[in-house]
Copies of this chain bind each other. A is one copy, B any other.
Amino acid sequence: MTSRQATRTKLLDAAEDLFFTRGIAATPIDAVLERAGVSSATLYRAYSSKEALVAAVLDRRHAAWLSAWDAEIADAGSPTEALLCIFDANDAFRSGPRGARWCAFLNTAAEFADPPPQIAEVLERETRTYRERLTRLAGEAGAPDPAALADQLLLVASGELAMRLRTDATTSPARAVAAAVVAAALAP
């Protein structure tokens, strides 16, 4: 690994943790520099702006999240379980080393009412990916209207994440809600 890549990794690690636990606007770029052990000029050589750094962090995180989700899907015993394991992936991601206060993507969407193109692109891609995958899994589970069930489950998953802003409860009723939704969708 070149030293350029190592520097980028340090910056992304620091930024990811600070941005998504304290907030992006609330994190001065100096805090990222200090944690990464890197100077200002070095950061701006790697990323053209704070916004570009945000976009890069989201990009990497999106890929990591998809891997975690894929791993859970691969372990699922049935199509219905596969459909619900988005919640397992969320739990796993939260308790892992990349935990965020709630959700990195929703948080970014909340902080940028009118996001710059780089950021808008990764946010849209994330929502699109959710929809596409959930729709596919819903179809495989036999839902008569896979897209509708996918939208319902995306709402439930987003609701679980938003609830982290209200309470620090470790358990969530999300799975129960999702089970009711799936049962209703698959009922004859």
A: which residues have CB within 8 A of B?
21-23, 25-26, 101-102, 106-107, 109-113, 123, 127, 148, 151-152, 154-163, 165-167, 172-174, 176-177, 179-181, 183-185
Contact = CB atoms under 8 A, between A and B. Distances in A.
Copies of the protein in its oligomer? 2
Contacts of A161: 162
A86 to B, nearest CB: 13
11 contacts: A21-B113, A25-B26, A25-B111, A106-B165, A109-B166, A123-B166, A155-B163, A155-B177, A156-B177, A159-B159, A181-B181
Nearest to A184: B180
A101 B112 CA distance: 11
Given A155-B174, A177-B156, A183-B184, A107 B110 contact: yes
What 5 pairs across the A-B complex have the smallest Cβ distances?
A159-B159, A180-B184, A109-B165, A158-B162, A162-B162
A103 to B, nearest CB: 8
Nearest to A101: B113
A113 B26 contact: yes
B102 A167 contact: no
Contacts of A176: 148, 152
Contacts of A123: 166
Contacts of A23: 110-113
Nearest to A124: B166
A23 B115 CA distance: 12
A96 to B, nearest CB: 20
Given A26-B25, A113-B21, A184-B180, A163 B173 contact: no
A89 B67 CA distance: 39
